[in-house]
Amino acid sequence: MKIGFLVIVFAALIAVPLVRADQNSAKLPPLFDRLSKAGNPIEAENIARQIWRIWIHHKDPEVQRFMALGIAAMNQNNYEDAFNAFEHVVGIAPDFAEGWNKRATVNYILKRLSASMRDIERTLALEPRHFGALSGLAIIFDTIGNNKAAADAWDRALNVHPNIRGARKHLKELRGRLKGKLI
């Protein structure tokens, strides 16, 4: 179920058109402002897609090529090849947040949770507003049974993107567990 949630998040990334940018784009601050004020989930999802379009692309053609190879490998459930592609991306573009985020996702799928968390930390160091990485962090903490850290990560993600699909439900369940209630 948790992997399915990540697949939904990343499926939206595959269908986006090419935009040359990254987490440092001047287009991001106004988009994050609009995202935080979005009046409904559909509007928020449209804005989030615009943000992902910017995050996923890099000005270096080699980085872009390996991102595409990694995403294609993920779509074919070829996670070792995806990992290798994203490993190359972070090697040649260590300041590109989405390369780290993609590698974190593959590490999670391969059940390399510690490695995934390290990659998420790097993603967030480069792009603290990365709601995808924050969601991934929440899922990992939930997987390992750290309810408090999972709830904190969902709170951080919702502060950036108040309409993340399923996040409020996960947060409610976690808060219930923290209070010792059965959900």
Greatest distance between any 2 Cα atoms in the chain: 52
Domain assignment present for residue 86? The answer is: yes
Structure confidence by residue, pLDDT tens digits, 134-170: 999 999 999 999 999 999 999 999 999 999 988 888 8
Rounded Cα distance, 21 and 109, in Å: 27
181 pLDDT band (50/70/90 cuts)?
low
Q: Is the pLDDT of residue 17 over 70?
A: no
> Residue 56's domain is classified under what CATH number?
1.25.40.10
Task: Name residue 80's amino acid.
Answer: E
d(CA 145, CA 63): 35
Residue 61 clears pLDDT 80, i.e. is over it:
yes
Looking at residue 1, its pLDDT comes to: 42
pLDDT at 15 over 60: no
The pLDDT of 69-84, averaged and rounded, is 98
Between CA 54 and CA 32 the distance in angstroms is 12
Closest CA to 143 of 91, 108, 176, 183: 108
pLDDT attached to residue 24: 85
Residue 11, pLDDT above cutoff 60: no
Give pLDDT, residue 100: 98
pLDDT of residue 76: 98
Please give the average per-residue pLDDT across 10-30, as a whole number. Answer: 62
pLDDT in tens, 79-91: 999 999 999 999 9
Q: Does residue 101 fall inside a structural domain? A: yes
Q: Is residue 63 situated within a structural domain?
A: yes
Instruction: Give me the domain span that covers residue 45.
Output: 2-14+28-178
- Percent of the chain surpassing pLDDT 70: 87
Domain count, the chain: 1
Asked, for residue 20, whether it belongs to a domain, the answer is no
DSSP 59: S
141 and 154 Cβ atoms separated by less than 8 Å:
no
